[in-house]
Structure 1
Amino acid sequence: MSRMLTEVIKYRKSYYFLAPFLLLFALFTIIPVGISVFLSFTYYNIVEAPRWIGWSNYRLLFVDDNVFLTAVANTLKFAFVTGPVGYIMSFLLAWFISQIPQKYRFFYTLCFYTPAITSSVAISVVWLYLFSGDRYGLINYWLMNMGFLREPYLWLQNIDTIMPVLIIVSLWMNMGIGFLAFLAGLQNVSRDLYEAGAIDGVKYRWQQLWYITIPSVKPQLLFGAVLQVVGALQVADISMALVGMPSPLYAGHTMMTHLFDYAFIRFEMGYAAAIAVVLFMFMVGLNRLLFKWLGSGD
């Protein structure tokens, strides 16, 4: 402790510059997380003061709350599909765009990034029209005209198709900050590396991608992976906008929608805090794996 204090005093000017960030980080991240952990061990309904109940919320979550277990299964299923697939799609699209002439890149970047900056409610209007369960839904209309369906299919009411539809919509909306990070990293790879690779026998684009490009953008790959994991585990708006709250037989229910239900509909904040803590632990665990796989010794 004394050694750390000595280091702080020695480099105090550096810590002065860090102080605004550390203060804001503690105020808006560390303290709220600590309060959530505390509230997860209490019964708190906003009206009354928090009352300590120990591990009761967690016991209820994992033993008695079957809907939460369904939400965990749906969230993991959603994350293990949209996470890797969306991550690979973002990187490959960024790589393809980086190969085209500079004057056309802005147009393609805008096209792929637009879904990420558009409101999920506005997007749901388009997808509700596509997957509408009557004959006027665009997909039903096409399939019926082509003879694949005899009657309209209830895409957003059938429990077998709810999750696939949510995954498709999420993948379409997936071109976010990670996509831009990949594109920025690809554009900053030194051309000298490609010239050196050509001398060493790297001839094809896929060889350049594997041996030169991917190792050069490893920090961006890690950043995009973290964002992808966080986004996949926090899905809620798409589910509530497309299939409602709650979804039919909880087929589209996720951990975030479960949290939203208890926090802002039932106002059981202690129980909602327990859900948030479990979700936070999922995120921390998966991010630690990502840092182990994609992180460097630095």
Structure 2
Amino acid sequence: MVTETVPVSRPGRVKTLLQEMVKNKISYLFMAPFMLLFLVFTVAPVLTSIGLSFTYYNILEAPRWVGLGNYRLLFVDDDVFLIAVSNTIKFAVVTGPVSYVLAFLLAWLISQIPVKYRFIYTFFYYTPAITSAVAMTVVWTYLFSGDRYGLINTWLIKLGILNEPFLWLQDVRTIMPVLIIVSLWMSMGIGFLSFLAGLQNVSKELYEAGAIDGVKYRWQQLWYITIPSVKPQLLFGAVMQIVFSLQVFDVSVQLAGMPSPLYAGHTIMTHSFDYAFIRFEMGYAASIAVVLFLLMVGLNRMVFKVLGSKE
């Protein structure tokens, strides 16, 4: 005897979403202010930038449709943009993983010390992140100043390593390493605090259970218990670090100038700023911003596949 299986029709996604919103209407009402601000100040500007990237727009005249002309010019004729992309990727490849691992290790070490001392260490490591980039670059400009009064030049001359001052912020070989060093110093930001908060909330029962199962050393606890327990914080920190690495702008402009010597410190953000607020070619600047946006989205998708989960 053969029985026919009748396919069960599933409601559409929109209908399911509407039913869910009606069922939990109070929760969605609480979310409404944030969603409204998110749509107005995040979604709408992104969609506007995508639209403007296909136009010629100089603020004074109405946008004029040019199709893919901006993108063709960007990738074919704009050599400075290719330099900016190369510099940004080099910067992100170094500062991203290094500052991410460094922030997690420092947060883990701080979580191991007594509670009454944690605030002091957290304050010292987090202060560079909340200090304005202008104030921090004043300090670093003094350190890397190219004259004899620069602190690093003074030390190196006294030690006999240098015979004359070295132009740290004018030499194309040292501009990017200096930017990386300064950015690493300022990278203990929101990701660092999220790591610290997640580590403090790991249940002690997990460590007790691990000790029964044979986990004895701190590094074993870190690998088998701590890291799996803070995966949401690891994901958040990775996303924030990608955004921080690809949006480098203030440090580059303040230290290396705009434009920097032979564009050695030129990044995608500085290139977009140049065309938007100096040349007032908003359509072309929007196409640069769209490329940066797609680069961020692609990297974040990779991070979600590695650290994300269905939940």
Measured against the shorter chain, the TM-score band is over 0.9
The corresponding residue for 2:291 is 278
Corresponding residue for 1:19? Answer: 32
Q: Does 1:88 align with 2:101?
A: yes
**Aligned twin of 1:41:** 54
Matches within 5 A, 1:44-123: 44-123=57-136
Aligned to 1:178: 191
Match of 2:255 among 242, 252, 272: 242
CA 1:117/1:2 → structure 2, altered by over 3 Å: closer, same or farther?
closer
Shift, 1:296, TM fit? 1.4
SS in 2 for 1:148: coil
Report the AA paired with residue 174 of structure 1. Answer: S
**How far apart are 1:133 and its partner, in Å?**
0.6
The question of 1:253 aligning with 2:266 is answered yes
State the match for 2:178 in structure 1.
165
Deviations 1:49-85 (A, max 9, x none): 1111101100010000000000000000000100000
Partner Cα distance (1:121, 1:17) in 2: 38
TM-superposed deviation, 1:25 = 1.2
CA deviation after TM superposition for structure 1 residue 29, in Å: 1.0
Number of aligned positions between the proteins: 298
CA–CA distance in 2 between the matches of 1:140 and 1:19?
56
**2:300 aligned residue:** 287
State the Cα deviation string for residues 183-218 of structure 1 (Å, max 9, x = none): 000011111111111111111111110011100010
Structure 2: gaps spanning 5 or more residues: 1-13
For 2:17 and 2:140, how far apart are their aligned partners in 1? 55
CA positional deviation for 1:6? 4.7
Q: Flag the 1:277–1:131 CA change in 2: closer, same or farther, 3 A.
A: same
* Counterparts in 2 of 1:250 and 1:11: CA distance versus 1, 3 Å: same
The one-letter code matched in structure 1 to 2:276 is A
Secondary structure at the residue paired with 1:159?
coil
Q: Go from structure 1 to structure 2 and tell me whether the alpha carbon gap of 1:2 and 1:222 turns closer, same or farther (over 3 Å shift).
A: closer
- Return the alpha-carbon distance in structure 2 between the equivalents of residues 124 and 3 of structure 1: 52
Shift of 1:2: 4.8
Q: Distance in 2 between matches of 1:4 and 1:165?
A: 50
Query: What is the aligned-residue RMSD (CA, Å)?
Result: 1.2
SS at match of 2:59: coil
SS in 1 for 2:174: helix
The residue type equivalent to 1:147 in the other structure is G
Classify 1:11/1:103 alpha carbon distance in 2 versus 1 (closer, same or farther; 3 Å). closer
Matched with 1:130 is 143
Partner residue of 2:243?
A: 230
Written as runs of structure 1 = structure 2, the 5 A alignment for 1:136-147 is: 136-147=149-160
Match for residue 5 of structure 2?
A: none
Structure 2 counterpart SS, 1:47: coil
Q: Which of 169, 178, 185 does residue 156 from structure 1 map onto?
A: 169
Q: Distance in 2 between matches of 1:15 and 1:278?
A: 33
TM-score by length of 1: 0.97
In structure 1, distance between residues paired with 2:307 and 2:24? 31
Q: 1:138 to 1:27 in 2, by over 3 A?
A: same
Q: Does 1:190 align with 2:203?
A: yes
- 1:279 CA drift (Å): 0.2
Paired with 1:187 and 1:126, the residues of 2 have a C-alpha distance of 33
Q: Distance in 2 between matches of 1:129 and 1:122?
A: 11
Query: For residue 197 of structure 2, what is the amino acid of its counterpart?
Result: A
Q: State the identity %.
A: 74
